[in-house]
Chain A
Amino acid sequence: MPEGTVNQGIGASVRRKEDKRFLTGKGRYTDDINRAGQLFAYFVRSPVAHATIKSIKTDKAAAVAGVAAIYTGADVANDGIGGLINGWAVTNRDGSAMHEPPHPILAKDKVRYVGDHVAMVVADSLEKAMSAGELVDVVYDQLPPVIDLASAADNATIHDGMDNNTYFDWELGDEAATQAALSSAARVITTTLRNNRLVPNAMEPRAAVAEYDEIADSYVLHSTTQNPHLLRLVICAFVLGIPESKMQIIAPDVGGGFGSKIYLYAEEACCTWASKKLRKPVKWTADRTQAFLSDAHGRDHINKVQMALDKNNRIIGLRVDTLANLGGYLSAFSVATPTYLHGTLLSGCYDIPAIYTNVKGMATTTAPVDAYRGAGRPEATFIVERTMDIAAREIGMDPAEFRRLNFIPNDAFPYQTAVALQYDIGDYEPTLDKALEMIDYKGFESRRAEAMKRGKYRGIGLSSYIEACGIAPSAVVGALGGRVGLYESAVVRVDPTGTISVFTGTHSHGQGHDTTFAQIVNERLGVPLDSVEIVHGDTNRIQFGMGTYGSRSLAVGGTAISKAIDKVIAKGKIIAAHMLEADDADIEFKDGKFIVAGTDREKSFGEIALSAYVPHNFPHDRLEPGLEETAFYDPANFTYPAGTHIAEVEVDATTGVVEVVDWACCDDFGNLINPMVVLGQVHGGIGQGVGQALLENAHYDESGQLLTASYMDYCMPRADNLPSMKVDHLVTACTHNDLGVKGCGEAGAIASPPALINAVVNALLPLGVTDITMPATPEKVWRAIQDAQTKAAE
């Protein structure tokens, strides 16, 4: 870096380039987009959980002034429109294929959850579309709802030809070895753990503006998607049968996703389809209640856990039998989430020689469930880290020391787990030690005693998590049933004046790519941040991409950028060699200059850029004009961020209110590009984890009504539900990507729920409470205390 300049490169907490437009109200989100003559869509949704549709009458609704069209499942079928797809197929334990029922974009014969799309009303104002929607007369013949996950297999059949409402019955690991460990164990820890159902609740509701261009026979769809290219592929190839070249998808500023905006939804497909039929732009924006009803939900597992310990308190086996609620239809990645993103994480940070898991993916008459922040990994971590605490308590060992005893030692990497993954690198004890020190673990008992004097039960809880990020490599994903490749692409375009545009296939919906990715360019090419533009979210500007989820943007997308930069430098060297009349091999690139090694002959990066576009005298047999390079990067492995989070809570036993009083964590995300952005991601993840552990729950009643379908009923974490957080990190650099980065987006949401529940249980142990299901609401905590006390008195 030239002297006197501010460091804008890797490792600098540069303030974000994107902030100004958001802070001044100039962000451009999908609902901000309006087109002349646009029509508005409103969806008539099923008010019942499970029913056959006897008839749909639309004549009264169609007569409302301003209504342009009403479409039903019959219209969809008549037009030969395909259904929404399942993006991942697994094989059943017995070797048979899993069940993949159709998922029409408008229900035709049957509805399978409250909120299922039954008809689409299009009118010249939203008000008219909504009031016409009220007049659509649907006669339902109700069938028994299937709501309770535990008994879902024994209830009414949701999809024809599907046995026991089971989409799949999948396994991973060595059952015989695990059973042998369990039978030879000195002690077996047995528990049942429930992972509660959540609604992702990105603050920006989903929206779509679809425009059909009659002259070009092409479409533009603005959408709140996390991955425009994948959306284009699915909507074109599987649903509407449009050539991909005729479809442009633009995801402008997107107000959070957390997984819920990965998938193609019925509404986007319907608006696109209708825009051609009506030859007008069609706009749809969800209100929050629709979002609750029809965004893909998250989590919702019941797990039976058995952990085998030898006489030295080492874990020798783990068996987990899981029921995963996937709802009324299979959402795009709903199969991957509870299987390969879940079962493979059951080894946690621990050296466990035998693991076996069986997962049954169940159909219920509830909204589809899919990936939500962490996707499978939070659910796995909850199992491992809650069981670690239960085990530590049963053997009377300090939970931190019990974890330390069972950690994979730092000299054991690369470490092959019993559940398919190979961790490339990690060092878990230092992050544990650091987190213990940050929260003053040693001083806890005196804080507990002090709290007791104030009438509060204080508890502390740990969670040492690991996650697998940057889902990859494509070959492995394909072999395991994934129907996509999980590489990423980048184009680095150097303009004649030396400014740079980077076209990335990832998508930023709050993660700060405009800044972080520009820092990579700054570091490598020496170009100031202001001269670097990051372009994302537009299928017509970006060659291809797989979008953003699973903390893949930096590890996969950032590495693709780095590889394209390598190519820019390599070409720059050839141009410099030509200009300086030197040998290609003698050119070095350093501090933004191409230098003939060992001499003072050099060309600046800007001179090379200009020369590339003013190629006088270029030897065209070996040197093309221009300076633009593309890289597609398919990673060799997942990345494995890990760390320890510790929560400290105080419980008021008279009200059951849990207050989070302190939080400390130390994570290992490999190298950090922008520490400020990384810490922000951790804070946000913890916020969502605290929500899951203490407040949030998607609750269906027995009839299948979603009782928590608004912010009045679904308890979102607010500023006073969270503490200030102490967040630190240590680094073991990822061994298989150029940047040595791992990913940080989901860590907080993965680590925090078990840490919190462990803390709540730790606080209440003196009262005899040994477990509490999420969310640990005041009512539930209060009841648990009452029950424990009644039991103690008996």
Chain B
Amino acid sequence: MPTVAMKVNGASVSHDIPDNTLLVSFLRETMGLTGTHVGCDTSQCGACIVHVNGDSIKSCSILAAQLDGADVTTIEGIANGDELHPMQQAFHENHGLQCGFCTPGMVMSAIELVEKSKNLSEREIREGLEGNICRCTGYHNIVKSVQDAATKMGG
């Protein structure tokens, strides 16, 4: 069992894990961070998206052992204490979630999208969220949420 050391939501962690442990299992089972969800087995749904060194990544498609020394941020790590991240706040204000299952992955995707591109058009937002499936919202309010957050984040 290799030892994997990484930063998760700002805290240094180190664990011995079987080398076939996926990042998502490491987060959910070893770390108890159950905000990151598993919605599929083909890396298609995006429910498991987290940030690794600032990039959004499907945590079901990478091994934890590959990430020794990495900086990982999950949905649990983006609010500032009690203050929601502007993207979380925008989802709340615009009713961008219903059952909430896709939401962590959706929010993590959306943050990266807005941080990396300026002046997103509606079409660009829709295309930018292509890796995430939501079965509840018809995406209408998710797109509105991202537009709203983009303004607030100066994107």
Q: Indicate if the CB atoms of B126 and A25 lie closer than 8 Å.
A: no
| Residue B68, interface by CB 8 Å | no
Q: What residues on A are CB-neighbors of B37 within 8 Å? A: 29, 203-204, 255
A-B CB pair tally, cutoff 8 Å? 185
In Å, the complex CA distance between A49 and B75 comes to: 42
Q: Indicate if the CB atoms of A710 and B101 lie closer than 8 Å.
A: no
Q: Indicate if the CB atoms of B92 and A25 lie closer than 8 Å.
A: no
In Å, the complex CA distance between A279 and B137 comes to: 41
Name the interface residues of B22-57: CB closer than 8 Å to any CB of A.
Answer: 28-29, 33-42, 44-45, 47
Q: Indicate if the CB atoms of A686 and B138 lie closer than 8 Å.
A: yes
Q: Indicate if the CB atoms of A719 and B125 lie closer than 8 Å.
A: yes
Q: What residues on B are CB-neighbors of A716 within 8 Å? A: 133, 135
Q: Indicate if the CB atoms of B136 and A22 lie closer than 8 Å.
A: no
Report the minimal beta-carbon distance from B98 to chain A, rounded to whole angstroms. Answer: 4
| Residue B130, interface by CB 8 Å | yes
Q: Indicate if the CB atoms of A684 and B44 lie closer than 8 Å.
A: no
The residue of chain B having its C-beta at the shortest distance from the C-beta of A18 within the complex is B100
Q: Indicate if the CB atoms of A725 and B140 lie closer than 8 Å.
A: yes
Q: Indicate if the CB atoms of B100 and A719 lie closer than 8 Å.
A: no
In Å, the complex CA distance between A682 and B40 comes to: 25
| Residue B8, interface by CB 8 Å | no
Output the residue of A202, A680, A687 with the most chain B CB within 10 A: A680
In Å, the complex CA distance between A342 and B140 comes to: 29
The prevalent SS among residues of A at the interface is loop
| Residue A23, interface by CB 8 Å | yes
Name the interface residues of A1-42: CB closer than 8 Å to any CB of B.
Answer: 15-16, 18-29, 31-32, 34
Q: What does the 1/0 interface line of A490-531 toward B look like (CB < 8 Å)?
A: 000000000000000000011110000000000000000000
In Å, the complex CA distance between A605 and B131 comes to: 51
Q: Indicate if the CB atoms of B75 and A256 lie closer than 8 Å.
A: no
Please pick, from B40, B98, B138, the residue contacting A256 in the complex, using a CB distance under 8 A: B98
Please pick, from B102, B135, B143, the residue contacting A258 in the complex, using a CB distance under 8 A: B135
Report the minimal beta-carbon distance from A658 to chain B, rounded to whole angstroms. Answer: 16
In Å, the complex CA distance between A31 and B28 comes to: 10
The residue of chain B having its C-beta at the shortest distance from the C-beta of A19 within the complex is B92
Please pick, from B47, B99, B125, B141, the residue contacting A510 in the complex, using a CB distance under 8 A: B99
Report the minimal beta-carbon distance from A676 to chain B, rounded to whole angstroms. Answer: 5
Q: Indicate if the CB atoms of A15 and B95 lie closer than 8 Å.
A: yes
How big is the B interface, by class? 35 or more
Q: A683-B140, A719-B125, A720-B127 are in contact. Are A25 and B76 (CB under 8 A)?
A: yes
In Å, the complex CA distance between A688 and B135 comes to: 7
Report the minimal beta-carbon distance from A361 to chain B, rounded to whole angstroms. Answer: 27
| Residue A205, interface by CB 8 Å | yes
Q: A26-B35, A29-B37 are in contact. Are A719 and B143 (CB under 8 A)?
A: yes
Q: What residues on B are CB-neighbors of A256 within 8 Å? A: 98-99, 101, 135-136
Q: What residues on B are CB-neighbors of A690 within 8 Å? A: 138
Please pick, from B123, B136, B138, the residue contacting A725 in the complex, using a CB distance under 8 A: B138
Q: Indicate if the CB atoms of B100 and A685 lie closer than 8 Å.
A: no
The residue of chain B having its C-beta at the shortest distance from the C-beta of A13 within the complex is B95
Report the minimal beta-carbon distance from B61 to chain A, rounded to whole angstroms. Answer: 13
Q: Indicate if the CB atoms of B42 and A27 lie closer than 8 Å.
A: no
Output the residue of A24, A205, A681, A717 with the most chain B CB within 10 A: A24
Number of interface residues of A (CB under 8 A): 59
| Residue A748, interface by CB 8 Å | yes
In Å, the complex CA distance between A23 and B132 comes to: 16
Q: Indicate if the CB atoms of A288 and B137 lie closer than 8 Å.
A: no
| Residue B6, interface by CB 8 Å | no
In Å, the complex CA distance between A570 and B34 comes to: 45
| Residue B97, interface by CB 8 Å | yes
Please pick, from B39, B129, B139, the residue contacting A203 in the complex, using a CB distance under 8 A: B39
Please pick, from B39, B75, B139, B141, the residue contacting A24 in the complex, using a CB distance under 8 A: B75
In Å, the complex CA distance between A421 and B41 comes to: 44
Q: What residues on A are CB-neighbors of B101 within 8 Å? A: 27, 29, 202-204, 255-256
Report the minimal beta-carbon distance from A745 to chain B, rounded to whole angstroms. Answer: 10
Q: What residues on A are CB-neighbors of B139 within 8 Å? A: 683, 687, 717-719, 722
| Residue A712, interface by CB 8 Å | yes
Q: Indicate if the CB atoms of B97 and A19 lie closer than 8 Å.
A: yes
Q: What residues on B are CB-neighbors of A31 within 8 Å? A: 34, 38
The residue of chain B having its C-beta at the shortest distance from the C-beta of A288 within the complex is B40
The residue of chain A having its C-beta at the shortest distance from the C-beta of B140 within the complex is A683
Please pick, from A688, A710, A720, the residue contacting B123 in the complex, using a CB distance under 8 A: A720
Q: A25-B33, A683-B141, A722-B138 are in contact. Are A710 and B40 (CB under 8 A)?
A: yes
Q: A18-B100, A32-B34, A724-B140 are in contact. Are A24 and B47 (CB under 8 A)?
A: no
The residue of chain A having its C-beta at the shortest distance from the C-beta of B79 within the complex is A24
Q: Indicate if the CB atoms of B93 and A24 lie closer than 8 Å.
A: no
Q: Indicate if the CB atoms of A22 and B97 lie closer than 8 Å.
A: yes
| Residue B74, interface by CB 8 Å | yes
Q: A25-B75, A26-B35 are in contact. Are A711 and B133 (CB under 8 A)?
A: yes
Q: A202-B99, A510-B99, A710-B42 are in contact. Are A25 and B136 (CB under 8 A)?
A: no
Q: Indicate if the CB atoms of B84 and A23 lie closer than 8 Å.
A: yes
Residues of chain A at the chain B interface (Cβ within 8 Å): 15-16, 18-29, 31-32, 34, 201-205, 253-256, 258, 287-289, 509-512, 676-677, 679-688, 690, 710-712, 716-720, 722, 724-725, 748
Residues of chain B at the chain A interface (Cβ within 8 Å): 28-29, 33-42, 44-45, 47, 74-76, 79, 84, 88, 91-93, 95, 97-104, 107, 122-123, 125-127, 129-130, 132-143
20 sample A-B contacts, Cβ–Cβ < 8 Å, listed by A number: A16-B95, A18-B100, A24-B75, A25-B35, A25-B75, A31-B38, A201-B135, A203-B133, A205-B39, A255-B99, A255-B100, A255-B101, A288-B40, A679-B95, A680-B136, A687-B135, A717-B139, A718-B129, A718-B133, A724-B140
Q: Beyond the given A24-B75, A288-B45, A710-B41, could you list 20 further A-B residue pairs with CB under 8 A, ordered by the A residue number?
A: A15-B93, A22-B99, A22-B103, A25-B33, A29-B37, A32-B28, A255-B102, A288-B41, A509-B99, A676-B95, A683-B140, A684-B135, A685-B138, A687-B137, A711-B40, A718-B130, A718-B139, A719-B143, A722-B138, A722-B139
